[in-house]
Structure 1
């Protein structure tokens, strides 16, 4: 086995840990949001915040590190899927650091002040932003698997069109998550 294959394996393994762990947390958050239970929602949102430093950040960092080594060893710097994947990873980091982290801190402060229902508003927003982040990570995975070039307009439009539709439905569409049993 060569180093390229080894680092590609490590990259995929770290990406599985990053995506898989977050997908389970996101599912828990969506279910708590649908139940309309502020306490459950904040427990899940708080868990996401705790796991961000313990699991998501290290797994995401290792995914990036092993991916960069793989790109270096494979001399893939000019490939569209590599550049777009790196931009997607940057967007995920920016969303987590500049949106999710401050919202989590604000929610924690509200909980400390005994304002659970106000904190739950932030928790719901965090879940929606995390859902968009996961849609962008699916787009990154699509890039890594499909490996479109700059001329593969149809593939790029399909990937980013699906991401745009997902973001609209999650953040701005008329279809909102409602408590289970609500009409």
Structure 2
């Protein structure tokens, strides 16, 4: 076995843990949202917040490091699929650090101060909407890593752009409100 295979394996494992683990939490939150189950939704958000800095951030950074090592030693940085992957990584990392992290901290402080209020649920709802866009970008990055499109792969590139556009629509178009039941 060569070094490239080892680094590629580590890149794929850390990416799987990062993207797959986050997707499971996103899915749990989405299912709770659709069912109107506030407790389960808050539990998914709490787990996301607790795992964000301890698990997801390190896995995302390791994914990047192993990818950069592969590019630096073997692949290079000039292929379109590498550029798309890095842009997608920068997007999802920025969403995590500049939206999810501070929003989760703000929600935790709000809950500690006033409990679960409609304001907390509103903040959580907005966070879930952004997560839809984040996972559309992640899906494109995964497809990009597997398909490795060139500038001539217009269909693949158009499909990737469509996935990001649909993710943006799902994230930022009108959404259901999650409110405590009165029954």
Same fold (TM over 0.5): yes
Distance 1:131 1:169 in 2: 7
Question: What SS class does the counterpart of residue 116 from structure 1 fall into?
Answer: coil
Please list the CA deviations of residues 92-147 of structure 1 after superposition, one character each: whole Å capped at 9, or x if unmatched.
01111111112112211211122412111111211221221111111001111110
CA-based RMSD of the aligned residues comes to: 1.6
Distance 2:63 2:149 in 1: 20
Gaps of at least 5 residues in structure 2 are 179-183
- Residue 177 of structure 1 and its aligned partner are, at CA, apart by 4.5
Distance 2:98 2:63 in 1: 20
Question: What SS class does the counterpart of residue 114 from structure 2 fall into?
Answer: coil
Which one is further off, 146-155 or 18-27?
A: 146-155
Where relative contact order (Cα < 8 A, 6+ residues apart) is larger, the structure is: 1
1:32 corresponds to 2:29: no
Number of equivalences: 177
Q: How is 1:152-163 mapped onto 2 (pairs within 5 angstroms)?
A: 152-163=153-164
Question: What SS class does the counterpart of residue 150 from structure 2 fall into?
Answer: coil
- Residue 178 of structure 1 and its aligned partner are, at CA, apart by 6.9
1:51 aligned partner: 51
8 Å CA contact 1:45, 1:126 repeated in 2: no
Distance 2:35 2:123 in 1: 16
Which one is further off, 27-36 or 57-66?
A: 27-36
Distance 2:163 2:40 in 1: 30
Which one is further off, 137-146 or 98-107?
A: 98-107
Distance 1:124 1:23 in 2: 16
TM-score relative to the length of structure 2: 0.89
8 Å CA contact 1:39, 1:116 repeated in 2: no
Distance 2:74 2:115 in 1: 53
1:108 corresponds to 2:108: yes
Gaps of at least 5 residues in structure 1 are none
